[in-house]
Structure 1
């Protein structure tokens, strides 16, 4: 009889535990959504609603690549007034779900390549000519890699995110003085940079190595941000952080997918993120072409092979 009573108590207890579990999940989801909306509302108070890149709805026919990986096309736009935007920054974030690894490829904007339907031009002009879809087609045609998602980053959003996540700044060793053609000049040395200073750091290119140095700094900054963001406390803040940057980003990625990838990016224990630059060393010349100016005339086959080796290893 006692055993029967004990068994009946256990049977009664399970529905209560299950109900409590469901309520906890519901409360967690509700809190995450509340934080997400708080982040959006915080940014909407001072966002530049006239920025056309965040308001345009783009057609994008992306898919996973032939290795089964997810590739995100990251574009930083240099929109100025009513001018057509060119891609100031072109990156591909590679995510392997099985290995839970991230890799980052930077494509230099002056790479002189064939743009579908437009002959050969600097690759950054593909965005101005046909948005992220033409950029996707250009990368696919030249490097034989598919891109599933795109994200066009408003630089104002980059500043906002840095200031929100790093109230004391991001620790970076600024390798030289950076004052030419930047809104916020920088002095050399190890220091903590706020959002405006970080934007100057990743955009500066007016020195002897030009865009090559800028690409190095962009990759260095992303590594530093990832390392200094990692941790449970940051992951707990992700819904609000996603909300903060959402008004500044135009993307075809669902919010839930963005949260998942952000969590994986920050919680991955695979060590330092690997990076690649296209063009690779000894694979290009630097001629001046009428109507284009100085370009990087790249060996497409050599760079395509390097990219595929980088992704698949």
Structure 2
């Protein structure tokens, strides 16, 4: 072989080895990062409650072909003692259909008064204080759908995630201002109306703001809209390349019951899927504002109608060959 061809072949081999080495490092880094999200030892925020208090059965297994429902919980851990689980500041259910590649997002109003398995009736945001299985079971009973997985984080986890993806360009629909002396102004809200680039701190201000006429109703809508924006940002080539560093940043602040294999499979399905709709739970037409003692809570006028509402939202549709391409419910 001529010397020139030998040099060319050698360069190609070096390049190929470099690509293989980078690919191996990239995927091993991702695997390690994903593995760190599933905390089964004493570094789990639920270690104590799952070892002693939580008696709810394990969530149903996901086989990979049927719709899967994931409970997202964000908590405000300020002022909590070590090992103490705070109430949920926000709760969402992401319903993903791997066959039809559709995503539905439901945000649950935190003052919804409902059954907490083995703990009587209370606001839905108290369920997580008894452990993630209790929270999943309570939400499953409320919505009438199985909840297979949970993802749990606090304010710092949210800030780290948004910063790790490089922030998000987002339209803030109005001026938002709120100051809190109790927090020593650490979490004051000061946003101006208009298109802007939100980093982790300003994004947290946006999704937390509820000091207007619609209070939590408007806040849950903002949270769903921002989650959609984060999902789209995560699909970008830049975010995919940064995935190992993103996982390294958020891992200390997040916990989930997903295995690495579950996360790989869900990430693949989610990347190919689109957000079909996002809704508030309970919807306004089924919601009643009332009191339990002196506490203001939200109740559902008809549990059966709520479950039917959720089912109708997430039921998949497919072309009906008998009707020339119409749709039929599956």
TM-score, length-scaled by structure 2: 0.74
Unaligned runs of 5+ in 2: 1-15, 37-42, 181-186, 317-330
What are the Cα deviations for residues 72-122 of structure 1, in whole angstroms up to 9, with x where unaligned? 111111223226410111111112122222221111111111222232211
- Over 3 Å counting, the alpha-carbon distance change for 1:140 and 1:223 in structure 2 is closer
SS at match of 2:285: coil
Q: Which residue does the alignment assign to 1:33?
A: 28
Q: Which residue does the alignment assign to 1:297?
A: 299
Q: Choose from 38, 42, 53 the match for 2:45.
A: 53
Distance 1:70 1:26 in 2: 35
Q: Choose from 171, 175, 178 the match for 2:176.
A: 178
Distance 1:62 1:39 in 2: 20
Instruction: Return the offset for 1:165.
Output: 0.9
- Over 3 Å counting, the alpha-carbon distance change for 1:187 and 1:107 in structure 2 is same
- Over 3 Å counting, the alpha-carbon distance change for 1:258 and 1:57 in structure 2 is farther
CA contact (8 A) 2:66 2:99 kept: no
Distance 1:52 1:30 in 2: 27
Q: Which residue does the alignment assign to 2:255?
A: 250
Q: How do 1:254-265 residues align onto structure 2 when only pairs under 5 Å count?
A: 254-265=259-270
What are the Cα deviations for residues 228-282 of structure 1, in whole angstroms up to 9, with x where unaligned? 33233322332332232121101111234324423443x32x5444212111121
My pick for the range that moved more, 101-110 or 174-183, is 174-183
Distance 1:35 1:143 in 2: 33
For the pair 1:102 / 2:103, whether they are aligned, the reply is yes
What are the Cα deviations for residues 5-37 of structure 1, in whole angstroms up to 9, with x where unaligned? xxxxxxxxxxxxxxxx99976762333224666
SS at match of 1:253: coil
CA contact (8 A) 1:239 1:259 kept: no
Q: Which residue does the alignment assign to 1:211?
A: 216
Instruction: Return the offset for 1:65.
Output: 7.3
Unaligned runs of 5+ in 1: 1-20, 42-50
Q: Choose from 271, 275, 280 the match for 2:278.
A: 275
Count of matched residue pairs: 279
Instruction: Return the offset for 1:136.
Output: 1.6
Distance 2:58 2:191 in 1: 41
> CA-atom RMSD, angstroms?
3.1
